[in-house]
Structure 1
Amino acid sequence: MLSPEILKKLESIEQRYEELTALLSDPAVTSNGDRFRKVAKERASTEPTVLALRAYRQALREIEDNEALLGEKDAEIRELAREELASLRARMPAAEEELKTYLVPRDPNDDKDVILEIRAGAGGDEAGLFAAELLRMYLRFAERHGWKSEIADTSPGALGGIKEALVNISGDSVYSALKYESGVHRVQRVPATEQQGRIHTSTVTVAVMPEAEDIDIQINPADIEMDVFRSTGSGGQSVNTTDSAVRLTHKPTGVIVKCQQEKSQLKNRNMAMRMLRAKLFEMELEKQKSSRDAARKSQVGSGDRSEKIRTYNFPQDRLTDHRINYTRHNLPAVMDGDVQDLVDACRTYYAAEALREASRAEQPGAVERRA
C-alpha cells in the first residue's frame, strides 16, 4: 500500500489536473493562444499520473470486492474470487512503483527539442556503417512518434557509412524520450568485408543535446567567427556551385559547428546557430552535473559520452543495455526504430533511482551522513 504522504502528493496532482481541465473550457483561456497552449501542455504532462492513480484506486476497489466474495456460500464464486485476488495483488507492487516514479521532479529540459550527434568510433569502415544504421534507427523512431527530423550535416564514410551526422529532432517531449541514448553504442557482428567470418567489435558515439533557446544560453556575436564554403555531397542544385555552407567557430570555447544541408546560406547559418547554442548549453549542463554531490551522480550517469551503454550482438540477435541490465532480442526491429521498450525501461530505472535517492535524503540523519 502507498503511504498517506505519497497518496496526498498524488491527489494534489490530480486536483491540479482537474483545475487545468476546467481552464481549457474557460473563454478567457481559449481566446488566448499562448495561455491555452501552456495550460494544455501542463495538463498533458499530469495526465499519465492521474490515469495511473485512478487505475490504482480501481484495483483497490476490485480487491475489496473480491475479498468480500470470499465469504460467499457458493464454492465456485469463492474460487473465482481467490483467482482474481491473486492476479490483482500480483500487479499492485508494479502499479505502486509506477506511481512513485511520477513524483520525481521533472527534468526542466524534458520538453525541449534535441540536437542528435552520431559519430563513428573504433572499428574503421564497420563503425561508419553502424553509425549510418543508428542514424536510420533514430530517424525511424522519430517518424513513429510524428516528430520532425532535419539532417543538419553529415560526413560520408566508406561503403555507404558515415563519419558523423547532426540531426535536429523536434516534437512533443523529444529530449525526455532520447536523453538516455547518450553514450557509446557497441556493435558485435561479422562485417560484410570480413572474408573469414570473424566477429568484429566496433563503436559509435551518440550525444543527445537539448536544444537551447536564447534565454538558456547567451552568445556574444563578437565571439563567433563565421566561414562560408561550397557544399559537398551528391546531388542538389547548389552543391559545389555556391558558398552556401556555413561553419561557425565559438572562439572562447573552440566549439565548431557546420551546416550545409540547405541551399540558402541564411538557413544554414540559422541552423548552425541552433546547433552551437545546443552544444554550449550541453557544456554548461555538464559543468553543473560535475559540481553536484557525488551521491546524486547515479541520476545523471547516463549522460557520460564515454560510458559504454549498450551492445548490439548480431550473431546472437541480442541487445543489452549495460546500465539497467536490460536485454531484448529481434535486432532487425530495433534497427527499424522499434526501441520504445528501451526508452520506457530507462525512464523507469532512472526515475526509481532518483526516487530512492530523494527518500534517502529525507531520512533523519541524512545530512549528518552526507557530511
Structure 2
Amino acid sequence: LVAMAKEELHEYESQLDEVLQAFRIALLPHDPNDDKSAVVEIRAGTGGEEAALFAADIFRMYQRYADHRGWKLDVLNTSPSATGGFKEIVFSLEGDGAYGRMKYESGVHRVQRVPATESQGRIHTSAVTVAVFPEAEEVDVEINENDLRIDVYRSSGPGGQSVNTTDSAVRITHIPTGLVVSCQDEKSQHKNKAKALRVLRSRLYDRMMAEQQAKITAERRSMVSTGDRSAKIRTYNFPQGRVTDHRINLTLYRLNEILGGEVDSLIEPLRQHDQAERLKLQEA
C-alpha cells in the first residue's frame, strides 16, 4: 500500500511540475505583434537559377502551411526567374497568430540537392533569404506623403521584356530611410501603389521595432534567432530527405512532409525553446 501511495505521489508531483511550467509560460509577457498578420519576403541568394527555383519551393511550402492553418495568402509582388523560379516574391499572411509563428522563419534557408541541369549528379548548395515582418496598420506607422518619391514604369516579365503597354508598375522610395519597394503584379497603377505602401509600412514598422530591440540585444543573444536575416537557420538536404534547424540542433527526416506544409513540426519546437529561454531570463 505504501509503495502504491509513493507511486501516486510521484505521479502527482510530475503533473504539478507540468502545470506550474504551463502557468509560468502563460505569465510571460505577450508580444502584441504575435497576433498581427505577416508580410513575408523570399529572395534568391547564392546559387543563381537553382536558388530561384528553391525560392519557389519555399513559397509553395508556406502556401501549403497557410492552407493548413486557415490563413489567407495575398501575393504582393513577384520577380520571376527565367526557369520558373523567383528572384524575389513578397506576400502577406492574414490569420490567427500568423506573425507569431512565421517570425521563426526569418533567416537564410540553405538547400543541398542535385539540380535538374546537373549532368554529373553533383550536389549543389544554394540559399534563399526569408524576411518576416509584422504587417503594420496605419495607426502603427504614419507615412508622410512628402517623404515619398514615387516612380512609375512598365512592368517586365522573367526575361526583362515588357508585359504591359501602360506605366502600371510602381516604385516607392522612402527618402528619410532610403527604403525602396516595387510592385508590378497588378494591371492597375493604383493597386500596385496600395500594395507597395503595405510592404513599405511593414518594413518601416520592422525597422522601428528593430531599433527598440537593439536596446535589449544582450537579452536576445541567448534566444532563438527571430530576426537576424543573415544567420543560416536551416538546411534542406534532398539526398538524405533531411531538414536540420541549426538554432536548436533539430534534425527531422521528413523533408517531403515539411515541404508539403508541415512547418509546425519545426516551428513548435522553436516556440517551446524560445519560451524556455525567456523563462530562464525572467527567473535569473
**TM-score normalised per structure 1:** 0.70
- Tell me what 2:221 maps to: 297
Amino acid at match of 1:278: S
Could you tell me how far apart the structure 2 residues matched to 1:92 and 1:241 are?
68
Q: Is the 8 A contact 1:318 1:331 kept in 2?
A: yes
Which amino acid in 2 is paired with 1:142? Answer: A
Quick check: 1:187 aligned with 2:111?
yes
> Match for residue 67 of structure 2?
143
Aligned-partner Cα distance in 2 for 1:142–1:253: 32
CA, structure 1 residues 240+339, in 2 after alignment: closer, same or farther (shift >3 Å)?
A: same
Cα deviation, 1:78-113, whole Å, max 9, x if unaligned, reads: 69x95x887776666555434432221111201111
**Following TM superposition, by how much is the alpha carbon of 1:333 offset from its aligned partner in structure 2, in angstroms?**
1.1
Higher strand share: 2
d(CA) in 2 for partners of 1:230 and 1:293?
43
Contact map agreement 1:302 1:309 (CA 8 A) in 2 = no
In structure 2, which of residues 137, 141, 144 is the aligned counterpart of residue 220 of structure 1?
Answer: 144
CA distance in 1, matches of 2:249, 2:12: 27
Q: State the distance in 2 between where 1:343 and 1:281 align.
A: 24
CA contact (8 A) 2:155 2:164 kept: yes
Q: Flag structure 2 segments of 5+ consecutive residues without an equivalent.
A: none
Contact 2:224/2:273, CA 8 A, preserved across alignment: no
The residue that corresponds to 1:318 in the other structure is 242
Alpha-carbon distance in structure 2 between the residues aligned to 1:136 and 1:92: 42
Of Structure 1 and Structure 2, which has the larger fraction of its residues in helix? 1
2:268 to 315, 338, 344: 344
- Cα RMSD, aligned residues only: 2.4
Aligned residues: 281
Contact 1:101 1:348 in 2 (8 A): no
Q: 1:162 aligns with which of 60, 82, 86?
A: 86
Please show how residues 97-108 of structure 1 align to structure 2 within 5 Å. Answer: 97-108=21-32
Identify the residue that residue 199 of structure 2 maps to in structure 1. Answer: 275
Query: Does the residue aligned with 2:199 lie in a helix, a strand or coil?
Result: helix
* 1:298 to partner: Cα distance: 2.7
Identity among equivalent pairs (%): 52
Give the residue type in structure 1 aligned to 2:192.
N
CA distance in 2, matches of 1:176, 1:344: 11
Which runs of structure 2 are paired with 1:1-371 in the superposition (5 Å)?
70=1, 93=17, 96-233=20-157, 239-299=163-223, 301-360=225-284
**What are the Cα deviations for residues 48-104 of structure 1, in whole angstroms up to 9, with x where unaligned?**
xxxxxxxxxxxxxxxxxxxxxx469xxxxx69x95x887776666555434432221
Q: Quote the Cα distance in structure 1 between the aligned partners of 2:16 and 2:120.
A: 53
Q: Verify the 8 A CA contact 1:289 1:300 in the aligned structure 2.
A: no
Q: Does the residue aligned with 1:298 lie in a helix, a strand or coil?
A: coil
Give unmatched runs, 5+ long, in structure 1.
1-69, 73-77, 361-371
- Any idea what SS the aligned residue of 1:252 has? coil
CA contact (8 A) 2:170 2:184 kept: yes
Which protein has the larger Cα radius of gyration, Structure 1 or Structure 2?
1
CA distance in 2, matches of 1:86, 1:159: 61
Summarize the Cα distance change of 1:106–1:242 in structure 2 as closer, same or farther, 3 Å threshold: same
Q: Relative contact order: is structure 1 or structure 2 higher (C-alpha 8 Å, sep ≥ 6)?
A: 2
Structure 1 residues 198 and 89, CA, compared in 2 at 3 Å: closer, same or farther? Answer: farther
2: CA distance between counterparts of 1:148 and 1:229? Answer: 29
Q: Matched residues in 2 for 1:200 and 1:86: separation? A: 53
Could you tell me which residue of structure 2 aligns to residue 26 of structure 1? none
Aligned twin of 1:42? none
